[in-house]
Amino acid sequence: MKYSSKTLEQAVEAMSALPSIGKKSALRLVLHLAENTTDKRRRLASAIMALETDLKTCEMCHNYSDSNVCDICRDKSRSARTVCVVESVKDVMAIEATQQYGGVYHVLGGVISPLDGISPDDLNIASLIVRLKEIDVNELIMAISPTIEGETTIYYLSKLIENLDVKITTIARGVSFGGELEYADELTLGRSIHGRVEYSHNVD
Amino acid sequence: MKYSSKTLEQAVEAMSALPSIGKKSALRLVLHLAENTTDKRRRLASAIMALETDLKTCEMCHNYSDSNVCDICRDKSRSARTVCVVESVKDVMAIEATQQYGGVYHVLGGVISPLDGISPDDLNIASLIVRLKEIDVNELIMAISPTIEGETTIYYLSKLIENLDVKITTIARGVSFGGELEYADELTLGRSIHGRVEYSHNVD
């Protein structure tokens, strides 16, 4: 594509550097920004720069925050003795959206993946250990995706803290609500049978 | 969705204000920008602001440009006596990409659409008339989408300049290359038969 302006071309280049935004979509977005009111452009540009200047990472759980310690970690009504270990900030949001969890989080920032060159040192593991030693944590919930890398990470963490008095749990795996048995993969279905629970009328 | 940070939320809001970017995609883009190198963020933010400070509109044809007159209008090897009237900057790019056109352009900035409140006064029509009177234009090619609004615009323009000595043409309508007859709509197919051309072995 030949652009009639260098300014336009640079904006398209910068926009298409974002994930899953191709050249054509980038051009559409840039033309939209070029045509629109000054306001929309400025708000976007300054919001992007604010990610650099204002966005902090919580010292405790490594979740994104506006202050040094995030709202969840500061919330006295939540139990600091239950820590849910997740891969990313997105997982915190997903779990918070369920409104089913009253503990705190610890964001690893990824999973151990030798193929992608991600070793335990690249993750927020040291700070988790410090946290477990400082605070009397009861339970560590591993809410990590059930992939090979995820399972490896759970195994690594469990070995690392096996001599600390912390109960380790993983989120339940099974057939999704509304999912049909015949379409569930064998591993999920197998585990779902293996991890069967007693039936109760009072389901919450 | 509850965000752990106002900064994050504002960035997602600003990003999802772009066309066809929903809240979930916006979050993915913002997290990507938050996690990535400073460079990528700054380049995007400054490219967006440059749309305001550096991007100009060509005085002659209203195409985007880095200078007051665009490269196409300044190009002495192109014929200024053939003017191709298009709806938007994207159409200029599409036609330029074919490398089949050696004239200049005139970007209307839309088509007449009473339903959307776009009247002839909102388009770059006055400047087109001035151009036609100043320069001895031979041919005006209407490369406007064959919609009701597009046809209305072509009709309006043709009436407006009927007493100037300018040949008006429209781009050929017909079945696309690789298109199958049975899937072509009736109007296109009808016009395609009506506007049939003599067969020649020397197709370029």
**What confidence tens digit (pLDDT) does each residue in A20-58 have?**
899 999 999 999 999 877 788 899 999 999 998 899 999
Identify all chain B residues contacting A27, using CB atoms and an 8 Å cutoff.
90, 93
- Helix B38-53 and helix A38-53, axial crossing angle in degrees, nearest 10: 160
Q: How far apart are CA B45 and CA A47, in angstroms?
A: 9
Judgement on whether residues A143 and A196 belong to the same structural domain of the protein: no
Which positions ≥6 away from B95 have C-beta within 8 Å? B84, B86, B101, B105, B143
Contacts of A23 (CB under 8 A, 6+ apart): A1, A12, A16
| CATH code, domain carrying B153 | 3.40.1360.10
Q: In terms of residue numbers, what domain contains A183?
A: 172-204
Render pLDDT for B107-124 as a digit per residue (tens, 0 to 9).
999 999 999 999 999 999
Tell me if A64 and B33 make a contact (CB, 8 A cut-off): no
Q: What residue of A is the nearest CA neighbor of B61?
A: A4
B93: chain A residues, CB-CB within 8 Å: 1-4, 27
- Beta-carbon contacts of residue B188 (< 8 Å; ≥ 6 apart): B173, B174, B175
ipTM of the complex, rounded to two decimals: 0.79
Q: B7, A72: Cβ pair inside 8 Å? A: no
CB contact under 8 A, B20 and A25: yes
| Pairing between β-strand B79-86 and β-strand B139-142 as defined by DSSP bridges | parallel
Answer yes or no: do A48 and B51 touch at CB < 8 A.
Answer: no
Residue B171: pLDDT over 90: no
Q: Is B84 exposed, middle or buried (0-12, 13-18, 19+ CB in 10 A)?
A: buried
Establish if A190 belongs to a structural domain. Answer: yes
Does the beta-carbon distance from A70 to B4 stay under 8 Å? yes
B179 pLDDT exceeds 90? no
Residue A177 lies in a domain: yes
Interface with A, mutate which of B1, B3, B8 (most A CBs under 10 A): B8
Q: Are B84 and B167 members of one domain? A: yes
Q: What is the CA angle B157-B162-B166, rounded to 5?
A: 90
Q: Count how many domains chain A has.
A: 3
The 10 Å Cβ neighbour count of residue B102 is 10
Residue A42 C-alpha, separation from nearest chain B C-alpha, in angstroms: 7
